[in-house]
Amino acid sequence: MKKIILFILFLLLFSSQKIFAQGSLKTSNKFICADVEGQNGFVTVLLPGCRIGFDPQLCFQNKCYFTCKIGNTYFTNNEVIAPFPTNAKRLNDGTSIKILDTIRTTWTNKNGCDIIQDIYPVEFTKSGQIVYKWKIFNHSGATVSVPSQYL
């Protein structure tokens, strides 16, 4: 009986750490940290502590932009583009979750595809790195080319 209770407590603890409400999620190791905005996927890289406005930033807050083209439509979280192209849509409706040390932001059903952004830290002997990875999940079954850009 104790094993079952411990197992249930473990599952509850693990589940509560895995999925978070929208807002800002953080991932880090002892050398580096990433703060990821929940719906638009903006990434701010900082030194340990991960407190925007207090700890040193290694990039500008909310100024890291992803853009891709699916079909004839551009999808971007770039809020600086002016005028905004008529064939573009903003990536501001994503869902972010934390899976172990990876923050995954998913924008669903963009011209039949899901755009998936994974952000995670890698620790080396004397330094660390934040890795950015994007995947496109094609729901249509047809071949789709998705040119992408990160600034």
Q: Write out pLDDT tens, residues 86-114.
A: 999 999 999 999 999 999 999 999 999 99
Question: How many Cα atoms within 13 Å fall on the side-chain side of residue 19?
Answer: 5
pLDDT band at 22 (very low <50, low <70, confident <90, very high): low
Residue 48 DSSP class: T
Question: Does residue 14 surpass a pLDDT of 50?
Answer: no
Helix (H, G, I), strand (E, B) or coil at 8: helix
pLDDT in tens, 128-148: 999 999 999 999 889 999 999
Nearest CA to 54 among 25, 84, 33? 33
**Amino acid code (one letter) for 88:** A
Question: Does residue 19 surpass a pLDDT of 70?
Answer: no
Nearest CA to 114 among 82, 86, 91, 88? 91
Question: Does residue 17 surpass a pLDDT of 60?
Answer: no
The pLDDT, as a whole number, for residue 23 is 83
